[in-house]
Amino acid sequence: MLLFGIQLAIIIFLLPLVANMTEIPPGCKIRITSRGLDMLKHETQKFVEEELGNITMPEMHGKEGSFQYSITDVNIAELNLIADLSFQPTSGLLFEVQNSSIALNFQRRILYWFFYDEGAINASADGVNIHTTLHLTKDVVGRLKIANVSCDASIAKMKAKFGGTFGRVYDFIATFLTTGMRFVLNQKICPSLKHAALVLVNQLLETIPVRTEVDKYVGIDYSLLSDPVVTGSSLDMHFKGMFYDLHNENDTLVNDAVNLVVREYDRMIYLALSEYFFDTGLYSYFKGGVFRMHVANERMPKDLEMLLRTTYFGAIMMLNPALMDAPISLELEVTSAPKSTIKTSGATVAVHSGVRVLVLPPGKAPVQLSSMTMESKFIAKVSMKGKRLAIHLDLRRFKIFSTQSALESLALIPLQAPIKTLLQITVVPLINNYTKKGVQIPLPDGIDFIEEVVEYNNVRLQSNFHMKCTDVILKTTDMLTFSF
């Protein structure tokens, strides 16, 4: 179990869909900077020490003239590593150990002529140098993976101190015994680190969601679009970042988003999300039939029902006076996929819906009294809960009108306020019930972001031409926990 304490900031860029590109732009991008890597260095060293401490050494037996020896119960007692973790451009990560030492103890049995002795030996391997490069790539399903490990290890010297009755007598044969031990230990270091990276670390990376269900309606695709881009100061990962309808996974939006550009390196981790990321989520929920609601009976506020009955009194009387006492209901259905927009004033979601006013005669089919169009705009508040990205919507603008006549639109004016209230107490909580659960960002298990603050800024990107885009910046209070 390793516990990582990391300070970080996440920047979420919401970029308009205005550029056509030859390559598929990522919907999600994560950048880890040198500052973030520095915070990992100490815990990575502890992880390496734990792996090296578990090295098992074979028994050694030998004979040289009248000298016979046996070495058993070899244990690594202590590691004093001077380590560094850095980016290896075009490859991945470089873990280096320089001028370090490893303390060992083991049991010896020695027969020299007619003299037999046994006891403990304390040995020290000095001048330990290890150079390990982790080559990062994406596998066939688009998951981040350590594809290969390049390792080179060397031990400059090993010295041993004998104990027991004849300890001082046998000090002169210490070099003879430790030469073999140094060779064996040196041969064990790299296989141990390769196993740790290719097996243990890759098992951790497998907890990153690639293509997974969010809920019973939608899933999300976080497959990598390319191998990680590694420079001397950062590691960038480009994910597809696309939601999809679980019942029709091939029905997705065309990705016309601009490429995500992060120019900053002063924070520890940056998360950039294209506007396409959010629009595919809205589109998938729309296709999944989530944005439909029938308000009737106990869900219908009494004052609104009375207002509707008064407004459509004439229509009811013309249809059938016997319907006057029948319940009245509203059917609300989003008619097209909602669209997100980002401005310096904040993030909004525009929703176009159809509303039908129905009377419900007992035992008979509903009778439509009227239909109207509803346009609403929501303020979207982005937040990070643990490692889940969540959105909370608040209704800000709302209007209803008739597509049939201007006169009917005027008659709907008294309904504006009560229907808006209805949306705020019924429809908006329904939508937030889905969005508040959030969706996991593509990071391994055990990573949590807390206490974020949202800021909105303008950013100018350059592609084939200049374009002015907007983004929302999400900053944490510099705390991240890894547990693996």
pLDDT at residue 289, rounded to an integer: 86
Phi, psi (rounded to 5 degrees) for 273: -125, 125
pLDDT at residue 253, rounded to an integer: 87
Q: What is the mean pLDDT of residues 10-20?
A: 45
Place of tokens 């919507």: 393
Assigned token pair, 282:
């809205």
Query: What percentage of the chain exceeds 90 in pLDDT?
Result: 19
Range list for CATH 3.15.20.10 in the chain: 211-472
The 10s digit of each residue's pLDDT in 120-162 is 788 888 999 999 999 999 999 999 999 999 999 998 888 877 6
pLDDT band at 380 (very low <50, low <70, confident <90, very high): confident
pLDDT at 451 over 60: no
pLDDT at residue 468, rounded to an integer: 29
Enumerate residues 6+ apart whose C-beta is below 8 A from 99.
82, 127, 128, 129
Classified by CATH at the fold level, domain 211-472 comes out as Bactericidal permeability-increasing protein; domain 2 (3.15.20)
Assign 385 to helix, strand or coil. Answer: strand
Q: Write b or e for each residue in 430-441: b if 16 or more Cβ atoms lie within 10 A of its Cβ, otherwise e.
A: ebbebbeebbbb
Average pLDDT, the chain: 78
pLDDT at residue 236, rounded to an integer: 93
Enumerate residues 6+ apart whose C-beta is below 8 A from 418.
301, 303, 304, 307
pLDDT at residue 9, rounded to an integer: 43
pLDDT band at 8 (very low <50, low <70, confident <90, very high): very low
Quote the CA–CA distance of 404 and 408 in Å, as a whole number. Answer: 7
pLDDT at 284 over 60: yes
Q: What is the mean pLDDT of residues 1-21?
A: 40
pLDDT at residue 130, rounded to an integer: 92
pTM of the model: 0.80
Quote the CA–CA distance of 338 and 352 in Å, as a whole number. Answer: 7
Q: Write b or e for each residue in 156-176: b if 16 or more Cβ atoms lie within 10 A of its Cβ, otherwise e.
A: eebebebeeebeeebeebbee
Q: What is the mean pLDDT of residues 185-206?
A: 87
Q: What is the mean pLDDT of residues 82-90?
A: 91
Q: Was domain 34-207 assigned CATH 3.15.10.10?
A: yes
Pair 244, 288: CB distance under 8 Å: no
Query: What percentage of the chain exceeds 70 in pLDDT?
Result: 83
Pair 150, 135: CB distance under 8 Å: yes
Most confident of 80-94, 422-436, 437-451: 80-94
pLDDT band at 470 (very low <50, low <70, confident <90, very high): very low
Range list for CATH 3.15.10.10 in the chain: 34-207
Place of tokens 């890759």: 202
pLDDT band at 227 (very low <50, low <70, confident <90, very high): very high
Q: What is the mean pLDDT of residues 165-172?
A: 58
pLDDT band at 173 (very low <50, low <70, confident <90, very high): low
pLDDT band at 239 (very low <50, low <70, confident <90, very high): very high
pLDDT at residue 226, rounded to an integer: 92
pLDDT at residue 203, rounded to an integer: 86
DSSP-derived secondary structure for 397-440: EEEEE-SS-HHHHHHTGGGHHHHHHHIIIIIHHHHHHHHTT-EE
pLDDT at 474 over 60: no
pLDDT at 290 over 90: no
The 10s digit of each residue's pLDDT in 242-278 is 999 999 998 888 888 777 777 888 877 888 888 888 8
Assigned token pair, 249:
């996974």
Range in 83-92, 93-102, 471-480 with the lowest mean pLDDT? 471-480
Assigned token pair, 216:
């019973």
pLDDT at residue 164, rounded to an integer: 57
